[in-house]
A and B are shown apart, each in its own frame.
Chain A
């Protein structure tokens, strides 16, 4: 296992965790472009653009792109988040160069207007699909309530209206600005020939002109709100709660993950025993999510509507009790063994390591081997977990309920 890095003259960075024992190779372009880089006028453009990358380039039609990936037997896809857009492929090692050539070509797309209009319909279908599925867009809405005017309040998908009204010119301008080589990392994991990776990147990406893309990182001011939204077609009630947590650049994020595991993992946690094991809720969990300059804890609970108010009250009790009485050493040890095992199991596939290596690089310009993460988890103490809870109390949160109920009492 060896970490290697190189930077092209135009600023494009190449980083890889090279593992000669792996059966396969994961490669991907990680672009610092996401919903937080958008404005109201272009809401949803990052994700729409991700779809357009598969629609062809000056030298390849959309059919060529899909066909060539399939000819390599590649497992390939792309995804967009608040902060990043990632294009990746897992292939057998002999296809490393071909996969990088193809990925590198598609992120210099033609952005033809006819394709743009066809793909718009697919995006609208995707938004409508999520509107029919729980929690019916509530994850976007609760972030909006919590973050207010902060860029992290922005929805990755945008809305049916914003996507429908988007002109192709605005997408082209956004592309020119965000897909600058100094805003992109080429990442590899698994069986990687690093010298060949650099040579391919230089040949395919070396002529890309940098545009010095920047990102605003204003500090977030959380808003405490309570909202109940009626969704007539829903069967279950869905409740989401947001509070502040450590951000991506904060070393406390490991203690935050352990805290979330102890209180709200989907098995064996305090929320689990109180609400899920008892059958009071279908699901109840707490997760920690970190972004550049901000972090959140999100509680997610679903249950029969008549049980919702009581369950929300119970969650508040669990959080208040933890804030008052703390956690035990035994709980921390159990959470550590659980997370450690997940880290190891989740690291066996090169494509899983690809996301870890790429994510760490974009967030912190940092390489972390599996053993570094394991050591960081092992080192967390009960006091450190309690310090996180003291700094980021969970009991005072922004809450959104969505489902058959038209009103619900806020916990006192």
Chain B
């Protein structure tokens, strides 16, 4: 059902992975640059985000305004973000404008100006984003959950904090760029309507002479406390629950992922049915398998009125514990149907595919075709998922809450 996936590793270590989808009129790209917030010194938290923001303000022959103008004239929809491991730059446009857009991003990644007069506006943008999270309690509780679920630096938020952001200097930004923006470790995913050979040659011209450098992987620190309440005078209490799971590249990943799919996914999934449909406890409840390269967790969210928060926490944890008793055939069949249609519909979006193939390469060193993923999903059985759950029952819960008053974490389950 799917096109073959092409890949090429240039001499300097840059990896290009590409999926031509000729039925589309668009093309999309995702650059994963190994400059995530895990590489920041703790006293410089937020440096990756500031570097990313400042990199947009002039590169190559363009100043910041010309950069935006040229991309908009090409109709490029773009987005940037900093995660634990990467700074990513992505874009989607009409297929005929793909190569011109890639040229602009080559300037950004290799020849940014970092103009001194743009430092303060960039810092102000980073501070605005940090302030905005304070007004998004649901998002804030999940950021805090990750910080308590993983040992540092793997649970960090890329936003930094007010104190560190205030102290960052232009030399910090230049240093972060020089150390971490490099071809080895960078993965570029491209999907949509293009010719593979032309793309490979064009990317070679743009990036082939980029010099590699080596960077040590960050050391893993201690895991913080597992229970935390953050006071907030809100209507609702936000609840974040985490427990250990598997990373994407683990051979049993899809067993763990199938178990979470039974808990959360369609509207017949257990959390939605038990917490929202039967009891009307909340509007939003979900669980998702969050994966880093070497570790993974299930992260679960529920938001509800303060007076019903304790019951919501109890019922939610009760469902997480109960899934270890096993899943049923009907649940597995629905999971498979949902995944199968999701895989086929992914082919209808060049943006979705460009990001997915780049991330696959990061986790696996290769890309699974949609056919291959379909085959793995077909191979899942109740026996295999239940065997995984029996050996790895959800337990040892990290619980972070945000709201007017703290909750009791159920005894005997954490």
Contact = CB atoms under 8 A, between A and B. Distances in A.
B74 A279 contact: no
Interface stretch (A180-188, A214-222, A338-346): A338-346
Interface string B252-268: 00000000000001111
A267 B67 CA distance: 11
Nearest to A90: B345
B268 A67 contact: yes
Interface in A47-65: 54, 62-63
B230 interface: no
Contacts of B138: 129, 133
A73 B64 contact: no
A349 B345 contact: yes
A350 B279 CA distance: 35
Given A131-B235, A233-B233, A334 B73 contact: yes
A276 B330 CA distance: 50
Interface stretch (B182-190, B212-220, B334-342): B334-342
Interface string A312-352: 00000000000000000000011001101110110011100
Contacts, number: 185
6 contacts: A75-B341, A128-B235, A129-B283, A129-B284, A235-B135, A338-B75
B342 A73 contact: yes
A15 to B, nearest CB: 21
Contacts of B236: 125, 128-129, 132
A69 interface: yes
Interface residues of B, number: 74
Given A349-B349, A350-B348, A341 B338 contact: no
A119 B280 contact: yes
Contact of B24 (A126, A303, A348): A348
B136 interface: yes
Interface stretch (B82-90, B120-128, B148-156, B385-393): B120-128
Contact of A267 (B72, B131, B344, B350): B72
Contacts of A302: 132
Given A66-B267, A118-B280, A124-B305, A75 B342 contact: yes
B1 to A, nearest CB: 8
B325 interface: no
B341 A276 contact: no
B273 interface: yes
A233 B404 CA distance: 11
B74 A122 contact: no
Given A69-B267, A342-B77, A282 B128 contact: yes
Interface string A119-162: 11111111011011110000000000000000000000000000
B77 A341 contact: yes
Indicate the size class of the contact surface on chain A.
35 or more
Contacts of B137: 132-133
Given A72-B337, A350-B348, A282 B132 contact: yes
Interface string A387-401: 000000000000000
Contacts of B348: 22-24, 348-350
A63 B268 contact: yes
B75 A70 contact: no
Nearest to B136: A133
Interface in A248-273: 267-268, 273
Nearest to B284: A129
Interface in B280-312: 280-284, 303-305
A345 B284 contact: no
Interface in B229-249: 232-236
A383 interface: no
A21 interface: yes
A329 to B, nearest CB: 13
Interface in B106-146: 120-125, 127-129, 131-132, 134-138
Nearest to A347: B25
B131 A345 contact: no
Contact of B337 (A21, A23, A73, A122): A73
A299 interface: no
Interface string B346-386: 01111100000000000000000000000000000000000
Given A69-B268, A75-B345, A90-B345, 4 more contacts: A66-B266, A279-B121, A338-B72, A340-B75
A2 interface: no
A254 to B, nearest CB: 17
Contacts of A121: 280-281
Given A62-B277, A302-B132, A344 B26 contact: yes
Given A62-B277, A133-B135, A276 B125 contact: yes
Closest 6 pairs between A and B when the two form their complex, measured CB to CB? A279-B124, A341-B75, A73-B337, A73-B341, A70-B266, A121-B280
Contact of B235 (A132, A345, A349): A132
A67 to B, nearest CB: 5
